[in-house]
Chain A
Amino acid sequence: EDQVTQSPEALRLQEGESSSLNCSYTVSGLRGLFWYRQDPGKGPEFLFTLYSAGEEKEKERLKATLTKKESFLHITAPKPEDSATYLCAVQAVGETSGSRLTFGEGTQLTVNP
């Protein structure tokens, strides 16, 4: 069974204080690892897809990296508008399972001004 564990559950940062969120996963065969941002009462917003170990993607203050067992979402000099829940999800190889996203519980990030 595919599993995703995110840590920490909650993280409070001061504006400008860089940090990293962790996503550990176990999957029979990884098709892709996805990062989403979710604001309260809204649907998840797609951020990145990573397909293979060593791959990195960047967008503004966010950078996602992938190893064979975990992914990190690095946040550089965060701003209050980066406050949200960040969700990690994996997709396994396989015709039907290749559609399912298995999500972690998320990291709730708060950035104080």
Chain B
Amino acid sequence: DAMVIQNPRYQVTQFGKPVTLSCSQTLNHNVMYWYQQKSSQAPKLLFHYYDKDFNNEADTPDNFQSRRPNTSFCFLDIRSPGLGDAAMYLCATSRDRGFEQYFGPGTRLTVT
């Protein structure tokens, strides 16, 4: 089945220790997104890639960066995680802008 895969499902990191979250897709979609969802809150878009073009949301902290080495993979790097960065990180893909987005299962990040 075509799908969006996120690894790991659970990640524990220490305060200030860099961490990388991974997303891969077998849907061959052009657009890949990273959302942050804190407990009982709405998902919030951090940034997205339209093909190779990176689009950062204005209020995304500089601490968050992303890489998309090819169509199938996208990474979220958190350079110096703080306690406030503990959240569920959701990767999503869509065929093109304006189409429905398909989400992966998420990575639950804990910062100790």
Q: Which of B31, B42, B50 contacts A106 (CB 8 A)?
A: B42
Number of chain A interface residues as a range: 20 to 34
Q: Which residue of B lies closest to A104 (CB)?
A: B42
Kindly identify, within residues 62 to 112 of chain B, every residue whose CB is under 8 Å from any CB belonging to chain A: 88, 90, 92, 94, 97-106, 108
Of the residues B40, B50, B88, B100, contact of A34 by C-beta under 8 Å: B100
Interface residues of A in 66-112 (CB under 8 A from B): 87, 91, 95-96, 98-101, 103-106
- Contact assessment for B100 and A43 in the assembled complex, using a CB-CB cutoff below 8 Å: no
Q: A113 on the interface (CB 8 Å rule)? A: no
Residues of B within 8 A of A31 (CB): 98
Contact B43 A103 (CB under 8 A): yes
Interface size on B, residues (CB 8 A): 29
Q: Can you spell out 30 A-B residue pairs with CB atoms less than 8 angstroms apart?
A: A34-B100, A34-B101, A41-B88, A41-B106, A41-B108, A42-B105, A42-B106, A43-B6, A43-B103, A43-B104, A43-B106, A44-B43, A44-B90, A44-B103, A46-B103, A49-B99, A95-B97, A98-B97, A98-B98, A99-B31, A99-B48, A99-B55, A99-B97, A99-B98, A100-B45, A100-B48, A101-B101, A103-B44, A104-B42, A105-B41
New A-B contacts (9) at CB < 8 Å, excluding given A41-B108, A99-B50: A32-B98, A41-B88, A43-B103, A43-B104, A43-B105, A44-B90, A46-B101, A98-B98, A103-B42
